[in-house]
Structure 1
Amino acid sequence: MASQQPSPEKTVGLSIGAAIRDRRRGLGLTLQGLANGSGLSVPFLSQVERNLAHPSLLSLEAIAQALDVDVDYFVGVPTPGQIVCRADEHDRIDLHSPVVYERLSGRHAERKMEALRLIVPAGLAAPTIHREGEGFWYILSGTLEMTVGRKKFVLNAGDSAHFDQRHPYSMRNTGKSDVRMIWVGTPAIFKD
């Protein structure tokens, strides 16, 4: 028996509701704030976000204006440049730090995670920090000592760590060569 696929209309509705909710939350707006900005009611917007109602083109234009985006933001497919990051196109993020940060993640505005390649110089000890979201570290080469809370771990090439970054954490390159690693975390931290 063939599985039923959702109709294109329902598929678009699902992505529009989620896109509106994600954009609204990303801007720190409440449903009431979006209602005030768009001239639409809170109950209607709530139903749109939950895919229980579908906005007309005029309503979608009002929502887009209130969220400071074009209508095609909700219905357009991201361009290849927003999805694919070629080996020679990695953005270097200058944080005035001895650590080299290169963006590996896509460039679409509503990404929920960040992926970076880090190069940590030999002997560097980073201060203890904490932030919202999860973090995933994968060591490509070198030896990195990490501390999460009061627990210390030594990570070598091929090792990984995945943890809640609300716990205080730090890292230290204990080796004589650079550590090359991949860091993936939520939420995205570097906005374009």
Structure 2
Amino acid sequence: MHEQDAGPPPIGGAIRQRRQRLGMTLKDLAAASGLSVPFLSQVERDQAMPSLVSLAQIASALDVETGYFIGVPSPGQIVRRADAPEHLHVGTSPVDYVRLSGSHAERRMEALHMTVPPGHASPISHREGEGFWYVLEGTLDVWVGREHFTLNAGDSAHFEQRHPYRMRNDGTTPVRMLWVGTPALL
């Protein structure tokens, strides 16, 4: 089923997100693009539509192509097919990581299917953002800060990853789990 074309997509949010991701203020963007702060503010709020020349100036200042703001992601950037998994290799870790999230450039979230072998214990980690773990099969011991939790199939944990965390599979079978977190991995 296809929806009718609703006209050009609003681009203000995409410009604002890219600017903020780069740590730029509106004033920084104005200086880099040669456009005024009030105009850029209106564009970001979708109250003004930039000309192609202005959009090219904004794109250049934000180090992207103009298509970044007006192009629709390809199906391959949106959908992951089971018959074409993307396995991630993380150092010498024996954990099997399969990316579930899309591959579009501005994703802010990552989703992985993880298979943790019996006896594996992860090192203590921390990073900015949130983490969500959902155990599909097996039993996983998890530590967040000084707190210890045992997660069984159907259990989940959701926490700020700035706190030290680690996990261990003390069982005799692999643990299959989902991890969803922010920010996205590279």
TM-score, normalised relative to structure 2: 0.90
Letter in 2 for 1:156: N
Ranges in structure 1 where 5+ consecutive residues have no aligned partner: 1-6
Residue 127 (structure 2) aligns with: 131
Deviations 1:78-119 (A, max 9, x none): 111010000022211111222121111001000010001111
After superposition, the Cα gap between the structure-2 partners of 1:26 and 1:90, relative to the gap in structure 1 and judged at 3 Å, is farther
Letter in 2 for 1:143: T
Question: What SS class does the counterpart of residue 9 from structure 2 fall into?
Answer: helix
Amino acid at match of 2:111: A
After TM superposition, give the deviation of residue 40 of structure 1 in Å.
Answer: 1.0
Larger deviation, residues 164-173 vs 21-30: 21-30
Moved over 6 A (4+): none
- Give the secondary structure class of the aligned counterpart of 1:177: coil
Is the counterpart of residue 17 in structure 1 residue 17 in structure 2? Answer: no
Two-structure CA RMSD over aligned residues (Å): 1.7
Deviation, 1:27, is 2.4
Matched, 1:169 2:175: no
Q: Which residue of 106, 110, 115 corresponds with 1:114?
A: 110
Shift of 1:8: 4.1
CA distance in 2, matches of 1:31, 1:77: 25
Match of 1:158 among 151, 154, 157: 154
CA–CA separation in structure 2 for the residues paired with 1:123 and 1:171 = 11
Provide the C-alpha distance between the structure 2 equivalents of 1:157 and 1:17, rounded to a whole number of angstroms: 42
Could you tell me which of 163, 176, 180 is aligned with 1:180? 176
* 2:172 maps to 1:143: no
Question: Aligned to 1:66, which of 43, 51, 61?
Answer: 61
Q: Distance in 2 between matches of 1:40 and 1:20?
A: 14
One-letter code of the match for 1:95?
Answer: V
Q: Equivalent residue for 1:30?
A: 25
The structure carrying a bigger helix percent of its residues is 1
CA distance in 1 between counterparts of 2:36 and 2:167 reads 49
Deviations 1:47-73 (A, max 9, x none): 221223221221111111222222221
- Residue matched to 1:57: 52
Q: Structure 2: which 5+ residue stretches go unaligned?
A: none
Please name the residue that 1:3 is paired with: none
Count of residues in Structure 1 that have an aligned counterpart in Structure 2: 181
- Looking at structure 1, the residues matched to 85 and 19 of structure 2 have their Cα atoms a distance apart, in angstroms, of 29
1:149-186 per-residue CA deviation (whole Å, 9 max, x = no partner) reads 21111111121111121222111111112111110001
In the other structure, the counterpart of 2:72 is 77
TM-score normalised over the length of structure 1: 0.87
Q: Which residue of structure 1 aligns with residue 39 of structure 2?
A: 44
C-alpha separation in 2, matches of 1:35 and 1:100 = 45
Distance 2:12 2:64 in 1: 15
